[in-house]
Each structure stands twice: as structure tokens, then as C-alpha cells.
Amino acid sequence: MSELPLVEPDLALLREGRVLIDVRAPVEFAQGALPGAVNLPLMDDDERHLVGIEYKERGQTAAIALGERLVGGEVKAARVAAWRELLARHPDAIVYCFRGGLRSQIAQQWLAEAGITRPRIRGGWKAMRQALCARIDAAAEQPLLVVGGLTGCAKTDLVLALDNGLDLEGCARHKGSAFGRHPLEAPSQIDFEHAMGRHLLDLPGPVVVEDESRHIGGANLPLAFWEAMQRAPRVRVEMPLDWRLAQIHRDYIEELWAVYRRQCGEWLGWTLMRKQLEESLAKLRKRLGSARLARLQRLQAQAFREHERGNPQAHEAWLAPLLTEYYDPMYRYQLEKRDPGHFLHVGDWESCLAVARQWSEEQGAVTPQRSAATG
């Protein structure tokens, strides 16, 4: 197996959008995979567990022998067939395992026996992960601009309107607030970091991000990058309450309902969306107090009844006090602790976008901007 081809753990593989065949067990894949990877394991979780025990108790030779007994005959044929089927669609796909060692070599060998030669990644998942994490650390040393502002100021839209914007909430699949959970499953911490690293491959210069706490849902920003955000200059978006209310209605109601309806259908989607919003509001009891929470819960329940009658705008009755009584005081408290000198500009959405573009050009971001969408 020593003559089987290797490729270096080059992040260009990800930038090029190569399909990667991850032959690790499903439990390993679920903990974190490489962007663009498809899990077609050499061994399933149970087989891997048994082989691992054998390795610890009797050594590598005995473990390999057990693996050959467990993954032989029809099982082996089915696994090879799955690899061949994917390679028929993506003939330039590349194989990897945890360290680019035995499992990916075995997969290569079985494919070679079937007349197909494909390389594996030297160092495997581990080497590629190290390279992705290094890209994040390198970005922490580059110029950063942070976009702040009250909830509902369309900060994410502003970041996405820039070609050098990095959508951290998109990477985390969470809007970063009590109501920010996405209907789809959140990524693991490893997958969140890999998504960050992958997006940063396309942003070689200065980067613009939204102001975030270190925790975005269940994901944690890498420490060096988060610390760089705290030092970075800022722009602050300020928009009137009615504008922000329309924005938060779009985010919390319209877009959430669209995703749930698409994923789960009308009845179940409605039930799950309502459950999520009710639970999110209930979690604010400590900050709102029992009396205010009860009032907002009554308004929320009434809004859902009105929504069912065809009036989705009724949600503004509880979203408006949510902004003014919860989000705004919390943000202003944080703002009081911030050095005013960090702000390059304070203004409306369009002016902040213009300043962010000017800053990007001055710092060396010469790629064309995306089209603006204020929502």
C-alpha cells in the first residue's frame, strides 16, 4: 500500500470545491468533518469500536485481522460500491481518514482492486483541520472591522453586502440572540470553526464581521479571533424603531416560518415555530421579571391567533416591547463600557455600508462588492 498516491493537505482542495470521501466512522464524522466531505465509512460505529478494543488488547495486527473479518464479503462489496458510485459522479474526489493512515489506505487499495486509483490526503482530517484553524488565527492578525448596532438594524445584511464580509451567524447557524435558534440542526464546534476557515479562504485581506459575543448559540468563536474583534474599529448602525421592528418581524417571523414550512409542512411547521418562539420568550423570565414576561406572553399568544386569521403583522405587538424593554437596554449597557474611540462612524444603514466599503478599500480589499440588500 506504500505506492498508493498522496496529495498534500492543501486548503486549495477546499477552495476548489473538491468532493472529499471521509472514510471515518459516522460518530467521528458527526463530531466534525471537512467542508465538502461525504461520509462513506470503511467501518460503521460498532465495527470501529470492536476493532479499537482489539487494537488496545492485542495490537495492530490482530486489529487488522478482526477488521478484515468484520468488513469482508458482501459488506466489503457494498462499501466499495458506495465509493465507486460517488466517484462515477465526482471522478476527482479524494479520500481521507483521521490521519491519512490505515483506513484511507485500505479504501485506496480496495478501489485499486476495482480498477480505480484515487489519492488520499497526507495527514488526513487532522492536518487539514490544523490548516483551517491556522487560517482563522491568521485572519485575527489581519485588519478587522466590526459592525454594531441595536437589534433589528440589519447588521448581517450589511456584512453580506460586502464582498469581504464574514457571516459568523451563518457559520454558526444561529442569529446570536435568545430568539436566534435555526430550525435546522446547529453545527458542531468543529464544523463551525471549519465553516469559518473555509469562508476565510475566499477573504485574503481585511474582513468585516458583525459584533458578537464569544458565544453564538452553541458555538464559541476561537479566542484569538474574538480578542481581535474586541480590539477592532467599529461602525454602529442606528435606525428608527419602526424600521427595526419591520426587520425583526422578517427575521423572527417571516423567515422562521418559511424555513419551518419548507422543512416540516404547514401543520407541523406552524406547531414547531410557535413552540420555539414561546420557549424563547419564556427563557427571558429572569431579565424581564414575571409581570413583564406574562404581559408579553399574552401579547404573543394573541398575535399567533391573529396570525392564524391572516394577520401576521399582529406579532409587532409583542416584538416592539421585546426590543425596547429587553434588547435595547442590554445593548446600551454594553455600549457604555465601550471606548467611543473605537467607532469610526455612527449613522444609518446606508452610511455605515459606505464607510465599511471605504475602510475595506483603504485596507486593501479590492474585490467587487456584493449587491446591497437592506431587507
148 and 20 in one domain?
A: no
Q: What is the pLDDT of residue 372?
A: 38
Q: What is the pLDDT of residues 196-224, one digit of tens each?
A: 999 999 998 899 999 999 999 889 999 99
Q: Note down the domain range covering 84.
A: 6-131
Q: Give the Å distances, CA to CA, from 99 to 121, 129, 181, 369.
A: 8, 11, 34, 39
Q: Are residues 170 and 69 in the same domain?
A: no
pLDDT digits (tens, 9 = 90+) for 92-136: 999 999 997 889 999 999 999 999 999 999 999 999 999 999 999
371 occurs within a structural domain? no
Same domain, 273 and 201: yes
pLDDT digits (tens, 9 = 90+) for 227-286: 999 999 999 999 999 999 999 999 999 999 999 999 999 999 999 999 999 999 999 999
Q: Whole-angstrom Cα distance, residue 310 to residue 324? A: 26
The residues near 54 (Cβ < 8 Å, ≥ 6 apart) are 62, 63, 66
DSSP readout, 116-148?
----EETTHHHHHHHHHHHHHHHHTTS-EEEEE
Do 123 and 187 share a domain, yes or no? no
Indicate if 120 and 190 belong to the same structural domain. Answer: no
- Is residue 184 domain-shared with residue 311, that is, in the same domain? yes
Same domain, 285 and 307: yes
The pLDDT of 354-368, averaged and rounded, is 82
**Model confidence pLDDT, tens digit, residues 137-147:** 999 999 999 99
Q: How many domains does the chain have?
A: 2
Q: What is the CATH number of the domain that holds 353?
A: 3.40.50
- 283 and 168 within one domain: yes
Does 254 lie in the same domain as 169? yes
Taking the C-alpha atoms of residue 256 and residue 245, their distance in angstroms, rounded to an integer, is 15
Claim to verify: residue 92 and residue 199 sit in the same structural domain: no
Q: How far is CA 264 from CA 35, 180, 257, in A?
A: 26, 19, 10
- The pLDDT of residue 368: 42
**Structural domain includes residue 98:** yes
Asked whether residue 217 falls in the same domain as residue 332, the answer is yes
Asked if the structure places residue 287 within a domain, the reply is: yes
Residue 370: pLDDT over 60: no
pTM for the whole thing? 0.90
pLDDT for the residue numbered 97? 96
Residue finishing a domain among 131, 164, 196? 131
| Residue ranges of E strands in the chain | 6-7, 20-22, 37-39, 94-96, 120-121, 144-149, 165-166, 207-210, 215-216, 219-220, 234-237, 343-347
- In a domain, residue 370? The reply is no
- 19-58 pLDDT, tens digit each: 999 999 999 999 999 999 999 999 999 999 999 899 899 9
Residue at a domain's end among 114, 131, 148 = 131
Distance, CA of 38 to CA of 127 (rounded, Å): 18
CATH label of the domain that carries residue 27: 3.40.250.10
> Is residue 252 within 8 Å of 319, Cβ to Cβ?
yes
Of the residues 131, 157, 173, the one at which a domain ends: 131
Whether the predicted pLDDT of 316 surpasses 50: yes
Between 374 and 194, name the one with better pLDDT.
194
What's the whole-number average pLDDT of the chain? 92
- Average pLDDT (301-315) is 96
Q: Is residue 201 part of a domain?
A: yes
Catalytic residues: 97
Question: For residue 372, is it within any domain?
Answer: no
Are 206 and 267 part of one and the same domain? yes
